[in-house]
Copies of this chain bind each other. A is one copy, B any other.
Amino acid sequence: MDTILRINMSGKNGPEIKKESMGDYAGLGGRGLTSMIIAREVPPTCHPLGEDNKLVIAPGMLSGSAAAISGRMSVGCKSPLTGGIKESNSGGQPAQVLARLGYAAIVLEGRPENDDLYKIFINKDGVKIEADNSLKMLPNYDLVEKMKNEHGDKICCISIGPAGEMKMSAASIAFTDMELRPSRHAGRGGIGAVMGSKHVKAIVLDDTGMSTREPKEPEKFKEANKLFTEGLKKHPVTGEGLPAYGTNVLANIINEAGAYPTNNFQKGQFEGTSKISGETLAELETERGGMATHGCHRGCVIRCSGIFHDKDGKFLTKQPEYETVWAHGANCGIDDLDSIAMMDFMDDNYGLDTIEMGATIAVAMEAGLAEFGDAEAAIKLLKEVGEGTPLGRILGNGAAITARAYGIERAPVVKGQAMPAYDPRAVQGIGVTYATSTMGADHTSGYAIATNVLKVGGYVDPLKEDGQIDLSRNLQIATAAIDSTGMCLFIAFAILDQPETFQALIDLLNSFYGLSMTADDVTELGKKILKAEREFNAKAGFTSKHDRLPDYFKKEPVAPHNVTFTVKDEELDKVFNW
């Protein structure tokens, strides 16, 4: 995994393939690698869909090794949704496979002059890229089926759906799971539109003949991996809650905390929560012959995913995540799991971010395009997006654009990106993350819910401003580092609470690379990444004024706690003072 694969789509005689050694980027992986490449090589004021933007797809530092749960793939670019730097990551198989094929990153550069749509195939023998216009406007599931027919079932795929081809700002990039289904997505920031702007429909990977990446110190590595796995298994969140009920175990918890945004963030509790909770979802999945506990990639030891069957017992979609159930559920006043699962499938198939789409449909409901709670209408709206109708063009570009089109003030966005499933008034720490993250409103970039609600890594009262800045800062730093390892972010619960598990993670990295990093070095890596991202954003025109929640979160209290977001602007400006 010491090669960077660059494909220049602007080449006069078609795309140009170039393999490079890591050079200055040596030692980086995942978000660390994507953000460093973007920060160094992309002009910050360029158009996100223009020839100067780059799309970087990078497995984490431990991806492709035997390390448990190391299958995250990072994707970086300048975001069409936020206008700032973006890293969005996904589970699924491709990270492990791409790493085993020896690539630290694929960098898509330039933009074709013609209208051709391209497919890239990578295996042990090398890289092929060819125009294949028969793929145009194929939804992700059909596309993967076609790839399977062409290349067999040993492959995995990275692809965009119609939304990416239409260069919509809510377009995701799909990654196939263990069943070779395009069900895992790097969703946020419209990165699918950037892949679309490069005219790349699919990257097909086959690592047949390649082997697992070997650590420098195999014994130490094996031991560390054992301790690490044990740590994950013994923590109540990663060992019990997540495997049993999936991420949606949070629905009841967050609803109880009064932080479950309902009807476009009008309320903090949803009457229908019990109908769509993780517990109900798991029961339904089991009852219909689906699966309530399942991994999204080989090597996962948490297995927070699952498989959702429809009423007839047929596969409909993977287990919808907590964020998806919230976005298409509570946030739109919808309490029907079948409708929510259908929208999860549609998003995956069209290639759309479920968070952005749920937030968008809720804004559309506030604009009067449908009633809150009307699942059928919500599905219709989503269909417009996949079909690229004018209304679909509005919705497919996200919550902020939809609010703009319909003159709605209440758009729950920061830097143009929709807030996820936690009301920042009822959990002030996540509000700090939403406001200040380099990524726009993003829960994963500093998951304060852990400490504000789940009491992981200590406890900071979610309703007060005290301690939230330090909390968010520390989490943002740690997250930037974790996002570089290829590890699933859910390891954070165990490493925050269990020092020996954190040490095991460091030992995994050290023994794999033959390093002697300390916890401080990990922190330094996180800071270095955030600094590069902040600098990119500043050069793109972002100021402290962009590190703010929309005004109405400071003015409109949210029930049941009847609180507003009270962290002061001057405090927010201290998040990156370290």
The chain A residues found within 8 Å of chain B, CB to CB, are 43-47, 49-50, 52, 80, 166-169, 193, 196-197, 389-391, 393-394, 397, 401, 404-407, 409, 539-543, 545-546, 548, 550-552
| Cβ contact within 8 Å between B551 and A545 | no
| Cβ contact within 8 Å between B409 and A49 | yes
Looking at chain A's contact residues, the main secondary structure is: loop
Tell me the bound Cα distance from A80 to B552 in angstroms: 17
| Cβ contact within 8 Å between A407 and B167 | yes
Tell me the bound Cα distance from A550 to B83 in angstroms: 13
Most chain B C-beta atoms within 10 Å of own C-beta, residue among A390, A541, A542, A548:
A390
Among B47, B169, B409, B540, contact of A50 (Cβ-Cβ < 8 Å): B409
| Cβ contact within 8 Å between B169 and A404 | yes
Among B50, B168, B540, contact of A545 (Cβ-Cβ < 8 Å): B540
CB distance from A302 to the nearest CB of B (A): 37
Chain B: which residue is nearest A369 at the CB level?
B390
| Cβ contact within 8 Å between B401 and A405 | yes
In the A-B complex, list the 8 residue pairs whose CB atoms are closest, starting with the nearest: A167-B407, A541-B545, A390-B391, A390-B390, A393-B405, A47-B409, A50-B409, A541-B543
| Cβ contact within 8 Å between B550 and A545 | no
Tell me the bound Cα distance from A548 to B168 in angstroms: 25
With A389-B390, A551-B52: A407-B166 Cβ-Cβ less than 8 Å: yes
Q: How many copies does the complex hold?
A: 2
Chain B: which residue is nearest A396 at the CB level?
B405
Tell me the bound Cα distance from A196 to B80 in angstroms: 29
Chain B: which residue is nearest A392 at the CB level?
B390
Chain B: which residue is nearest A81 at the CB level?
B404
| Cβ contact within 8 Å between A46 and B541 | no
| Cβ contact within 8 Å between A45 and B390 | no
Which residues of chain B come closer than 8 Å to A540, judged between CB atoms? 545
Among B52, B545, B550, contact of A47 (Cβ-Cβ < 8 Å): B550
Q: 10 A–B contact pairs at CB < 8 A? A: A45-B548, A47-B409, A50-B551, A80-B404, A166-B407, A167-B406, A167-B407, A394-B405, A541-B542, A541-B543
Among B50, B193, B196, B541, contact of A546 (Cβ-Cβ < 8 Å): B541
Most chain B C-beta atoms within 10 Å of own C-beta, residue among A50, A193, A409, A539:
A409
Chain B: which residue is nearest A169 at the CB level?
B404
| Cβ contact within 8 Å between A407 and B196 | yes
| Cβ contact within 8 Å between B545 and A407 | no
Chain B: which residue is nearest A406 at the CB level?
B393
CB distance from A104 to the nearest CB of B (A): 29
| Cβ contact within 8 Å between A45 and B541 | no
Which residues of chain B come closer than 8 Å to A389, judged between CB atoms? 390
With A47-B551, A389-B390, A550-B47: A197-B407 Cβ-Cβ less than 8 Å: yes
CB distance from A68 to the nearest CB of B (A): 40
Tell me the bound Cα distance from A389 to B390 in angstroms: 9
CB distance from A431 to the nearest CB of B (A): 16
Chain B: which residue is nearest A53 at the CB level?
B409
Tell me the bound Cα distance from A168 to B409 in angstroms: 13
Chain B: which residue is nearest A52 at the CB level?
B551
Tell me the bound Cα distance from A550 to B389 in angstroms: 28
Tell me the bound Cα distance from A543 to B538 in angstroms: 9
Which residues of chain B come closer than 8 Å to A541, judged between CB atoms? 542-543, 545-546
Tell me the bound Cα distance from A197 to B401 in angstroms: 18
CB distance from A392 to the nearest CB of B (A): 8
Sample of 6 further A-B pairs with CB below 8 A, known A49-B409, A390-B393: A47-B551, A50-B409, A390-B390, A390-B394, A541-B545, A543-B543
Chain B: which residue is nearest A197 at the CB level?
B407
Among B52, B80, B196, B394, contact of A393 (Cβ-Cβ < 8 Å): B394
Tell me the bound Cα distance from A541 to B397 in angstroms: 22
| Cβ contact within 8 Å between A168 and B45 | no
Tell me the bound Cα distance from A390 to B402 in angstroms: 10
| Cβ contact within 8 Å between B404 and A397 | yes
Tell me the bound Cα distance from A49 to B407 in angstroms: 7
Tell me the bound Cα distance from A196 to B540 in angstroms: 32
Which residues of chain B come closer than 8 Å to A390, judged between CB atoms? 389-391, 393-394, 405
Chain B: which residue is nearest A168 at the CB level?
B407
CB distance from A553 to the nearest CB of B (A): 12
Chain B: which residue is nearest A546 at the CB level?
B541
Which residues of chain B come closer than 8 Å to A43, judged between CB atoms? 551
| Cβ contact within 8 Å between B394 and A45 | no
Chain B: which residue is nearest A43 at the CB level?
B551
Tell me the bound Cα distance from A168 to B406 in angstroms: 8
Tell me the bound Cα distance from A404 to B540 in angstroms: 18
Which residues of chain B come closer than 8 Å to A166, judged between CB atoms? 407
Which residues of chain B come closer than 8 Å to A542, judged between CB atoms? 541
Tell me the bound Cα distance from A394 to B402 in angstroms: 9
Tell me the bound Cα distance from A193 to B540 in angstroms: 28
Among B391, B404, B409, contact of A401 (Cβ-Cβ < 8 Å): B404
Which residues of chain B come closer than 8 Å to A409, judged between CB atoms? 47, 49-50
Tell me the bound Cα distance from A157 to B79 in angstroms: 45
Which residues of chain B come closer than 8 Å to A550, judged between CB atoms? 47
| Cβ contact within 8 Å between B46 and A407 | no
Tell me the bound Cα distance from A44 to B552 in angstroms: 14
CB distance from A296 to the nearest CB of B (A): 30
Tell me the bound Cα distance from A397 to B394 in angstroms: 11
Among B47, B394, B546, B551, contact of A394 (Cβ-Cβ < 8 Å): B394
CB distance from A555 to the nearest CB of B (A): 9
Tell me the bound Cα distance from A173 to B548 in angstroms: 31
